[in-house]
């Protein structure tokens, strides 16, 4: 990383990079190209549609679906499964970048955010001449769905802090709890490599709905009745991946400074909390 980077200023990547791979849900191949963007641009997805490039800003107001992944849409343009890429951008504090796709879904890499971290680091990161805006929470906001909770509290740290509890009904994966201050080093080492999780008994029904068609034992951690079907990267990889998804979903609100506590929550609740955080606080320089 550039030793002259200043966390108080917006950041973009130094040069264009690309990645080609399979998509988690559609199973199709897709190419993702990341390019530098001017200060104040934010993260912008570009879709090729009939030879024409269509723009889709990665913002909360453009969320159109939260079933098993985060989907953005505006007009006739949609992009699915943006959360792992968004998590990598937020984890590395990249504010402005153009993400061009030749498909309607972001390729998955190895099912985690690690491939996007590597891609961004290969591109290099540079500071820009624009102070970074932060959403600093001043009072609690929360979302509740039955026994599932997602609470954001004011936090006197300099970043997003996440405490997450995954409550499992079966011994595998069981109940898992993790807590992280999401700075760059911790994100890269402790959160980014955690893969998407699937439950063996759900796979057939998901695929009948056109979901998870690109997943396999190299890209998805599969939990069966008697244990995992493949080797976890961490004993609590399920909870860590939930943190990864949460970081990516909240990135659609910008640089959020808060302590977020989740119990059994998922994408739809993440999206609702992101909206409430934006309503509760104004960007602060």
- Which residues are catalytically annotated? 267
**Which residues make Cβ contacts (< 8 Å) with residue 170, sequence separation at least 6?**
223, 225
Kindly write down the DSSP assignment for every residue of 161-188, as one continuous string: EEEEEE--SSTTT--EEEEEE--HHHII
Q: Which three-class secondary structure state does DSSP give residue 122?
A: helix
Nearest CA to 198 out of 164, 236, 229 is that of 229
Q: Return the DSSP state at 62.
A: G
Q: Return the DSSP state at 217.
A: T
Nearest CA to 35 out of 117, 119, 113 is that of 119
Q: What gap in Å lies between CA 81 and CA 65, rounded to an integer?
A: 10
Cross-strand partners of 164: 178, 262
**Which residues make Cβ contacts (< 8 Å) with residue 171, sequence separation at least 6?**
none
Q: What gap in Å lies between CA 250 and CA 246, rounded to an integer?
A: 6
Instruction: Judge whether 105 and 80 are in contact, CB under 8 Å.
Output: yes
Q: What gap in Å lies between CA 254 and CA 95, rounded to an integer?
A: 8
**Which residues make Cβ contacts (< 8 Å) with residue 125, sequence separation at least 6?**
1, 2, 5, 11, 12, 13, 14, 92, 93, 94
């Amino acid at each position: 990383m550039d030793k002259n980077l200043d966390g108080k200023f917006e950041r973009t990547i130094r040069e264009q990079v690309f990645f080609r791979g399979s998509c988690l849900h559609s199973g199709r191949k897709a190419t993702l190209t990341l390019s530098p963007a001017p200060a104040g641009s934010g993260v912008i997805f570009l879709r090729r549609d009939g030879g024409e490039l269509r723009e889709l800003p990665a913002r909360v107001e453009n969320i159109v679906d939260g079933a098993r992944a985060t989907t953005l849409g505006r007009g006739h343009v949609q992009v699915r499964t943006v959360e792992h890429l968004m998590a990598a951008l937020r984890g590395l504090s990249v504010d402005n970048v153009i993400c061009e796709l030749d498909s309607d879904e972001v390729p998955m890499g190895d099912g985690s955010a690690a491939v996007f971290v590597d891609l961004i680091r290969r591109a290099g990161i540079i500071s820009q001449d624009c102070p970074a805006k932060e959403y600093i929470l001043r009072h609690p906001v929360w979302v509740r769905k039955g026994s599932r909770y997602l609470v954001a509290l004011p936090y006197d740290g300099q970043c997003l802090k996440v405490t997450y509890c995954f409550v499992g009904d079966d011994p595998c994966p069981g109940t898992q709890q993790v807590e992280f201050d999401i700075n760059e080093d911790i994100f890269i080492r402790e959160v980014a490599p955690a893969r998407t999780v699937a439950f063996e008994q759900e796979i057939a029904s998901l695929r009948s709905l056109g979901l998870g068609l690109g997943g396999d034992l190299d890209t998805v951690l599969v939990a069966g009745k008697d244990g995992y079907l493949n080797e976890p990267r961490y004993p609590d990889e399920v909870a860590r991946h939930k943190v990864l998804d949460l970081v990516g979903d909240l990135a659609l609100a910008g640089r959020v400074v808060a302590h977020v506590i989740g119990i059994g929550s998922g994408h739809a609740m993440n999206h609702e909390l992101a909206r409430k955080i934006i309503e509760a606080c104004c960007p602060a320089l």
